[in-house]
Structure 1
Amino acid sequence: MKEKRTIRAEDLYQLKSVADPQLAANGKDCVYVVTTMLEKENKYCSNLYYINVDEKNNPVQWTFGENRNSSPRWSVDGKRLAFVSDRSGKGQIYVIDVAGGEARQLTTCPNGASNPVWSPDGTKIAFNMAIKNGESFSLTDEKDKKEDKKPVPLEVDKMKYKSDAHGFWDGKYNQVAIVDVQKGEVELLTSGEHDYQLQSWSPDGKYIAITADLSEDKDASFISDVFVIHTDTKELKKLTEGTGYFGNVTWSPNGKYIGIVGHEREFENATLSKIWIYDMDTEKIQCLTRDSDLLIGDYAIGDFQQGAVTPGILWGEDNHSFYFLATDHGNTVVYYGSLAGVMYPALLDRQHVYGLSTGGKVDRAVVAISKPSYPGDLFLLNVSTGELEQLTNVNGEFLAEIVLADSEPIRFKTSDEWDMHGWIMKPVHFEEGKKYPLVLEIHGGPHAMYANSYFHEFQCLAALGYAVLFINPRGSHGYGQAFVDAVRGDYGGKDYEDIMAAADYALANYDFIDKDRLGVTGGSYGGFMTNWIVGHTNRFKAAVTQRSISNWISFYGVSDIGYYFTDWQIKSGLHDIETLWKHSPLAYVDQMETPLLILHSEKDFRCPIEQAEQLFIALKHRKKETKLIRFPDANHELSRSGKPNLRICRLNFITGWFNDYLK
């Protein structure tokens, strides 16, 4: 029998990500998206696949080529499928007949189209498009497709003029439009100087639910309200009170109730999302999970899945039952809920459920599941029994030749009696009696959660003989409101102590860890904490800081979120430079002795590269051991969705640095 090999960074080119399952209303037909990375072309490729969940036959590929095909959505009668494809350039809406035939392009929007939503009668599709005021809905000829490449000045008169996801704002607003499926005619449903996000269509076809912030001063506003707009009169009705951030809007089958996920920002961006129900008859809204510490949605992080979609609440045929995803103690869980307030898990296991679709049924669901040593596949969930039947095996052949590490959960108490939860991943080919180096991983956010999910970076480290330790310190999601809020105003305080306590616990309970060969790494907030750690202790022999924060004072003015994030998280601003500096790792550069590799993307607008430059220069000026790696054409999302070759380079830089100092 051929011996299995260990995984490598380059194996990202071999692995497939399966996501966004969509079960049709008949409860049988399911379409999903499979994404791969193309090494030669250095890009991503996504295609649609079909499977009958009753017959469990071999999946059938429905789209082909090296483009991105995504967002498959069934018509209500299940006879047609709308999806988004960039085969003609920018993403546009296409429709394919399930009975056969070629996909037909419906839109030719100059800046692309996204988020297709069918009308109940199947004659129209609503969608989102970015457009300037007065700009044409469609490309009229080849001349329109060619952009003027001459540089032009950027005029800035607002603070929210850039974002890590979209770069500099170019005058376009996100609008909702409707296209006639037969005629291809496009009608703009919203307009003006606001961004509207399409949500869902009412069962009677009269209304479309959308979300938007209609505040005049967008720079000082951080809300998202729910509206319904009449498809004929375009009359807009506001359902929420301008008090919070709401989205994921879905209608009950009879149109009487609207399910909403959101919160009222009691703890700013550390507030738990909850389930809200709007009654169309009484015109009142109520929160069903107000007294619960359950976080609605999927807040687990990873570095592998592409195109995962978190749905809102998915209604059943009875108009009072529904299912949803929740984030809970290192897992994402499928929950059942009802208008009566009944809530309980329908699928509770050591797993990351990163996709859920019910087709409107109450007895079954298709779920996308990942585990620490399992990249991910689709399963059919029998709700009454909790049994899972595997539908796909997209990485079966590859995984048959690879040995992966699993993770062991750990729990411990801190000095102030807080419960902490995390994992230890042993090296691949672990041998009793041997000593191994350990790498401590710290997630970003800080309001995110490590989970029982596949993490390629962890597997690459374990394959090279490292133990990997990762925990959810206070500030992480999944452990209640008090836990996630505890980090605000205390960066580098108890969160630092939590992480050090995890290292102490690992050394005390796992005798295979070599205390003299400890490494630490993390990105974003995890990069901040890596910088903080090496400025406060010399127990780590090597460190890699990624897309990090080093100086909260300059971060205030250069990050796309800086001017409000420092207020929310550090609870300070430029009126209190002393506090910002006290929480800045750069203030402790004289104490930094750990060899530090600094990884940063050139186009990172969330944690701009000047954060890395300041730290690098300060360290080099003091003759400290450091190196700076700059990644071109990459933003804050490099590790998750960056150019394939750069993602591979990043992983090899990380493992190479630790190999140099810990082996």
Structure 2
Amino acid sequence: MNKGIEIQDLYELRAVSDPRLSPSGDEAVYVKTYMCEEKNEYFSTLHSIRLQDKTTRQWTFGEQKISTPRWSPDGRKIAFVSNRSGVNQLYLFHRDGGEAEQLTDYQKGVSNPVWSPCGEKISVSLRLEKGETFETKEGEEEKLKPYVATGMKYKSDDRGFDDNCYSQIAVVDVASKKIRRVTDDVHDYTLHSWSPDGQHIAFSVDRTEDKDFSFQSDLYIFNLEMNEYKKVNKETGYYGGAAWSPDGKHLAYMGHGREYENATHNKVWLHHIETGHSICLTEGMDLPIGDYLNSDSIQGSSQTGILWSNDYESFYFLASDAGNTVLYYAHIDGAIYPALLQEEQHIYGFDFDSTRQVMLIAMSKPTEPGELYTLHVPSGELTEITSLNGELLGNRELSSPQSFMYTGAKDWPVQGWIMKPVGYEEGKKYPLIVEIHGGPHTMYGNTFFHEFQVLASKGYAVLYVNPRGSHGYGQEFVDAVRGDYGGGDYEDIMAAVEYALEEFPFIDETRLGVTGGSYGGFMTNWIIGHSDKFKAAATQRSISNWISFYGVSDIGYYFSEWQIQSDLGDIETLWKRSPLAYVKNMNTPLLILHSEKDYRCPIEQAEQLFIALKREKKDVRFVRFPESNHNLSRTGKPSLREARLQEIVDWFGEHL
């Protein structure tokens, strides 16, 4: 019998991302990413595949990171971003072969290349100070100096401390390599697309002066020759992901008006260029547009926006639905339906050949990391065209999750999954580990999760559910957690445990463990402060004290007001919802895992919990991960991801 998935298999897994069809439709490019144990780093390579015979070709080699490959309109060249020079720069490959040509040499790097329709220019995003030129070079290394913050959003988990630079848009002339700055101010621009006539671009930006209390992103159409802006959305909210119809008459985009703050469903909108009128096409879907499915095995970026058909009247997009990420078809007259019907699917990237009616899909399943598929749209025929992980999976036994529905708080239906341990034997009893996702506005579902498979291979049953607050089950369901942290969501999770104990007799009720990260870490802390049901717990990147979180998190002051619906003027409510308030009730042995450069849920949250538990002489272990942020479990240094999983396995092995 084959062994199950191991921690070390992190280095064997291959992730496929950003599939892009050539204009002719007979070939595709994609990025393959892997973790190098020796270098303790992520590397990626650019590949192409012929759809007819599945023959592949590797375009790039060496230790570098590749992203965002984009075919030129004539299909003769491929633009992509690489850090081979030490910083992300724009490169150009000629399809006929030869070395990649470097198009940019900006010291801070570039990203997000978008070809102009004529194929002579490429727009890019880059971070600049106001008035900074592309010729500006870094001077000698400066001495240490104090950092001065004047705004409330002075740090972020992904970038660290604010550097007074702003995301701007520039256009690169492919022939001359000259670069022209399109925007130059103190706002962050997100580039989306060019108009078919090449005279306009669509981008999003928050032009509000008071950024501390501005939470919006407006969509604009910008005339490149006249330097004129035209705002698309009439409502205040978050809008972006814009794509032009091939005839230039419509602009489809995504967004919402913040009716439920960050719990609001993303929707699809259609803007008529001539009349300036916009309508919402997905008002009746009651599903969030986009991919909200949690995974620890997806690397790189992929197309998750809107893709038009060349009939000028229809397009495709993704939506998150009850544990699946589903590809949908939409017509400008309002017709919407799934383009692919499967019980288990996590589509996280796609491209479309409208002429041949063939969709190229990057898709993961519970027992399969992401691979590329072609979908013949008229017939629904789905064909797998890559097998990047086939050899590894052929030598491993995997656990297949079983989905179930149960009754949660207020008699609402809630979805969960149970995984049997690898090597399961009828009649034996097994320990159970409950996994709780972060967000809370994300979802678990039908995708490959390395961590879950590792636990199953170690002899654990694994239970994971989507409690209220999760995406994929309607606007009321996802909004229900706001103002009720530790209420109905806690009841949903505990009800899942009771259901599992009743329905799955192989679970040993005396050996239960619980773990989760971010919001899942908060809930882990909350659970052991309100129940002694679990024999061991592991809390990761967690929240323990909403009072201090308000001021130390990069999102603290507004996230607390949106989610807990309280601020520093109401300390009583913040403390009532804080797991730290119940530390005397925590009798479950607890493993605390936290990254030292986590600015989302800063490490002081873990420090407070650790000291409070030690003061009460409780069984607790505190592990700090250096040079790591909130995304350690997904994009952290490979050696630290390995160490994190080993800590979890060892802790539950000792206590269960």
**TM-score normalised to the size of structure 2?**
0.99
Distance 1:598 1:159, change over 3 A: same
SS of residue matched to 2:292: coil
Q: CA deviation at 1:241?
A: 2.5
Q: Contact (CA 8 Å) 2:131, 2:184: kept in 1 or not?
A: no
1:116 aligns with 2:113: yes
Matching of residues 104-253 of structure 1 within 5 Å: 104-138=101-135, 144=137, 148=141, 150-241=143-234, 243-253=236-246
Q: How far apart, in 1, do the equivalents of 2:493 and 2:621 lie? A: 25
- Aligned residues of 1:108 and 1:138 also touching (Cα < 8 A): no
Tell me how far apart the structure 2 counterparts of residues 64 and 217 of structure 1 sit (CA, whole Å): 46
> Quick check: 1:460 aligned with 2:457?
no
Change (3 A) 1:38 1:501: same
Deviation at 1:233, TM superposition (A): 2.3
Deviation at 1:360, TM superposition (A): 4.4
- 1:294-309 aligned at under 5 Å gives the runs 294-309=287-302
Structure 1 letter corresponding to 2:6: R
Q: 1:292: which partner in 2? A: 285
| 8 Å CA contact 2:614, 2:620 repeated in 1 | yes
Which residue pairs with 2:311 in the alignment? 318
> Are 1:639 and 2:639 counterparts?
no
Q: Is this contact kept in 1: 2:68–2:301, CA < 8 A?
A: no
CA contact (8 A) 1:322 1:362 kept: no
Matches within 5 A, 1:26-45: 26-45=24-43
* Cα distance per residue 1:75-98 (max 9 Å; x no partner): 111111110000011101111111
- Would the aligned equivalents of 1:107 and 1:138 in 2 still touch at CA under 8 Å? no
- Separation in 1 of the partners of 2:388 and 2:19? 14
The residue number in structure 2 matching 1:400 is 394
Match of 1:93 in 2: 90
Letter in 2 for 1:347: L
8 Å CA contact 1:72, 1:83 repeated in 2: yes
Preserved CA contact (<8 Å) 1:298 1:354: yes
Which residue of 544, 547, 554 maps to 1:550? Answer: 544
* Secondary structure in 1 matching 2:530: coil
Q: Equivalent residue for 1:525?
A: 519
**Shift in alpha-carbon separation, 1:415–1:558, aligned structure 2, 3 A:** closer
Task: Map Cα deviations across residues 440-482 of structure 1 (whole Å, 9 max, x no partner).
Answer: 0000000000010001110010000000000000000000000
Counterpart of 1:277, as a letter, is L
Q: CA deviation at 1:503?
A: 0.2
Pair 1:13 & 2:6 matched: no
Distance in 2 (alpha carbons) for counterparts of 1:652 and 1:310: 33
Equivalent position amino acid for 2:386 in 1: T
SS in 2 for 1:296: coil
Distance of 2:544 and 2:196 partners within structure 1:
51
Q: Does 1:66 align with 2:63?
A: yes
Are 2:291 and 2:304, in contact at CA under 8 Å, matched by a contact in 1?
Answer: no
SS of the residue 1:657 aligns to: helix
Matched to 1:563, the amino acid is: Y
CA distance in 2, matches of 1:419, 1:20: 35
Which residue identity is paired with 1:120? P
SS in 1 for 2:32: strand
SS of residue in 1 equivalent to 2:107: coil
- How far apart are residue 192 of structure 1 and its match? 0.7
Alignment partner for residue 610 of structure 2, among 594, 605, 616?
616
> Aligned residues: percent identity?
56
323, 337, 340: which one aligns with 1:330: 323
Q: Deviations over 1:494-546 (max 9, x none)?
A: 00000000000000000000000000000000000000000000010000000
Answer yes or no: is 1:268 the counterpart of 2:266: no
SS class of match (2:410): coil
Deviations 1:378-436 (A, max 9, x none): 00001112111111000111111111111000111125210010100000000001000
- How many Å apart are 1:289 and its aligned residue? 1.0
Gaps in structure 1 of 5+ consecutive residues = none
Tell me which amino acid in the other structure corresponds to 1:503: V
After TM superposition, the structure 1 = structure 2 runs for residues 415-426 of structure 1, keeping only pairs within 5 Å, are 415-426=409-420
Q: 2:74 pairs with 48, 72, 77, which one?
A: 77
Query: Residue 56 of structure 1: CA displacement?
Result: 2.9
Tell me the distance in 1 between the aligned counterparts of 2:652 and 2:613.
Answer: 19
How many angstroms apart in 1 are the aligned matches of 2:301 and 2:165?
A: 26
Whether 2:436 is the aligned partner of 1:439: answer: no
Residue by residue over 1:54-113, the C-alpha shift from the partner in whole angstroms, topping out at 9 and shown as x without a partner, is x13221111111100110011111111110000011101111111211110101111100
Structure 1 SS opposite 2:339 = strand
- Equivalence for 1:485: 479
- The answer to whether the Cα contact below 8 Å between 1:223 and 1:242 also exists between their aligned partners in 2 is no
**1 CA distance for matches of 2:138 and 2:307?**
39
Q: Over residues 116-156 of structure 1, what are the superposed CA-to-partner deviations in whole Å (9 max), with x where a residue is unaligned?
A: 000001000000000112323146xxxx4676153221111
Separation in structure 2 between the aligned mates of residue 340 and residue 482 of structure 1, nearest angstrom: 27
Pick from 582, 586, 593 the counterpart of residue 592 of structure 1.
586
**Distance across 2 between alignment mates of 1:418 and 1:99:** 58
Tell me if structure 1 keeps the 8 A contact 2:303–2:351: no
Residue pair 1:174, 1:197 contacting (<8 A) in 2 also: yes
| SS of equivalent residue, structure 2 residue 570 | helix
Aligned residue for 1:279?
A: 272
Match of 2:336 among 343, 365, 372: 343
Contact kept, 8 Å, 1:259 with 1:312, in 2: the verdict is: no
Structure 2 counterpart SS, 1:580:
helix
1:295, 1:132 → 2: CA distance? 35
Q: Which amino acid aligns with 2:57?
A: V
- The C-alpha deviation readout for 1:4-27, integer Å capped at 9, x for no partner, is 222211110011001111112222
What SS is found at the alignment partner of 2:484?
coil
Question: Does structure 1 conserve the Cα–Cα contact (< 8 Å) formed by 2:304 and 2:348?
Answer: no
| CA RMSD, 1 decimal | 1.1
TM-score of the superposition, structure 1-length normalised? 0.97
Task: Please tell me whether the aligned partners of residues 271 and 481 of structure 1 are also in contact (alpha carbons under 8 angstroms).
Answer: yes
Counterpart CA distance in 2 for 1:174 and 1:265 is 23
Which residue among 99, 103, 107 is the counterpart of 1:102? Answer: 99
Which amino acid is the alignment partner of residue 203 of structure 2?
Answer: I
Aligned to 1:566: 560
Residues 339 and 649 of structure 1: is their aligned pair in 2 closer, same or farther, counting only changes over 3 Å? same
Q: Kindly state the Cα deviation for residue 294 of structure 1 after the two structures are TM-superposed.
A: 2.0
What is the letter of the counterpart of residue 9 of structure 2? D
Q: What is the rounded CA distance, in whole Å, between the counterparts of 1:166 and 1:260 in structure 2?
A: 27
Alignment partner, residue 502 of structure 1: 496
Asked whether the 8 Å contact 1:70–1:84 carries over to 2, the reply is yes
Following the alignment from structure 2 to structure 1, what is the Cα–Cα distance between the partners of residues 371 and 641? 23
Alignment of 1:388 onto 2:385: no
Secondary structure in structure 2 of the residue aligned to 1:652? helix
2 CA distance for matches of 1:361 and 1:423?
A: 40
Task: Flag the 1:415–1:164 CA change in 2: closer, same or farther, 3 A.
Answer: closer
Which residue identity is paired with 1:11? D
Contact 1:447–1:476 (CA under 8 A) maintained in structure 2: yes
